[in-house]
Chain A
Amino acid sequence: MDLIRRRGAAAAVLAGPGAVAGAVEGRAEMKELTRVSGSVRGAVRADLDEVFRRDYQLVVGVAARVLGSRHQAEDVAQDVFLAFGRSSVPAGEARGWLSVAAAHTALNLLRSGRRRASREENVATADDAVVSDVAEAVVMLEERRRVRAALARLPRKQAVALVLRHSGLSYVEVAAALDLSPGSVGTTVRRAESALRKELNRHASSS
């Protein structure tokens, strides 16, 4: 069987799994693929313990700001540190790398798993002994939901810059992590805050 036929068959076989279908199609894409290095297997980096102890709280904080749920944020942090452990990110860039990874992972979760997220949030809040008043809990949930929805609607870079800044990264750190100039971090964060405030006000006045 020649090459083209073979690819056709692969496409047919893979069509069921949907999103995976495109994986083996197209010569240009295969070239693209072969350029990408995939060497991730191997030992966990030696400085993982040290970096984990230093930055775990920061990473959880970044994810929690996006997700509004400490429980989910800790899951994200696990994923992020596992990835970091297998990466060769220079130690000096670890803090920014981890923060950006946490923000993206959490935003992806927000986008792809919103239904699941809200269910878990419900559970988390129900368990929260501090919130004894049911009405108060409902208001809190609604408030959280609006903030997450507004965050999910922001342009991705704005959302990440916003969350990193509010998680305590300096302007220089945010700039380095997102490949921005330090001068434009203020502009990006300001735009995100302005947009978020408008979203929150709009919903507040309409509800």
Chain B
Amino acid sequence: MRERIEEIRGKAQAAADKPAAVGIDIDLAEFGEQPPAYDYREALHQISELDPEEMARTGVRVDAQERAGTFVQIDDTVVHASALEKGIEVMGTREALETYEWLWDYYWKAVPVDMDKYTATVELHPYDGYFIHALPGARIIYPLQACMYLRSPRYIQRLHNIIVVEEGAELHIITGCASEHEIESALHAGISEFYVKRNAKLTFTMVHNWHRNMYVRPRSGIFIEEGATFINNYICMEPVRYLQTYPTARLRGEGAVARFNSMMVAAPDSIMDVGSRVILEAPGTRAEVISRAVTRGGEIIARGQIVGEVPGIKAHLECHGLILDRGGRIYAIPELDGKDPDVDMSHEAAVGKIAQEEVEYLMARGLSEEEATAAIVRGFLNVKIEGLPPQLEREIQRLMEESESKAL
């Protein structure tokens, strides 16, 4: 164990100054402040630091109704962790690593610790995050909610989340990351490692609610085993200074499935560099990567990469972008990498403005130009996410509508 920890530390130290593969390089020395510590709260309503409205917009219900459990972290401190359904465990990652020795086998396995300076900094400094564990065969009906809140200015929020969905289990997670209103410049470095075991299913819906001074660097890796399904929904419609993320999913067992849906709206001065990568390593695996990008003056780089390693895989990539205002930019970079003649991979990308013909069609039914435009943009962002239970579908729809009503 000690050897492994030393090895991880060594790699992290070697990568402490390593810039990310894409995106501007951030000088981490600019963020030096220490956040305060927060007390642990037994009940959600005791968390007075968080605006309930802000929480609701990230999908977190203070009453925890129709939720399988809750996790709340403010800055570096876990302030609440509870599981309300059987078959599920929720706790801080550091506590989990102390409790379960076996968890070290999952620590920095799906995301390399030396990927770049943002992964390294999480290892080299105090951090926490959530460990969520669905036990074998557990069917968790309601979604589990998690909120990562950044409250202190001029510091780096470091997170390391580990999610393990055991064989045959089914779990839905809604996670919201948010920062205090008008926070001074701060950086969020969040590691998420997902392990979806044989025939298990995980739906992970993430809503980002940042502010215009925030730098955001999530790093995610997902291992999906035989017959397992991973569905990732990402919603980011608030301003952000500079967001760069490129989660990588590996389909490691026969028949595994991965779906990524990303819905983004970039305000002026926001830069969102968002990608999804799926590596299909086993026969009969399938992947779908869909992104919908809307700019109101900001810049969106919509990346997508599908790597077909073996015969008999099928994957599709789709990047669609709408430029609503001058000054906006959408740069779609779809990449297909086929390594066998018997792969079935495709992509489509389209960037442009709203079709005037569609706006006028709705206007002819009595909608004003603004109403027609908003309806069309909503429709554009509204990706039909297959395979969700109706309750979760409604919940995601509600989250989308709330984000849209503010962003548009």
Q: Do A and B interact with each other, yes or no?
A: no
Residues of chain A having any CB pair with chain B under 8 Å: none
Residues of chain B having any CB pair with chain A under 8 Å: none
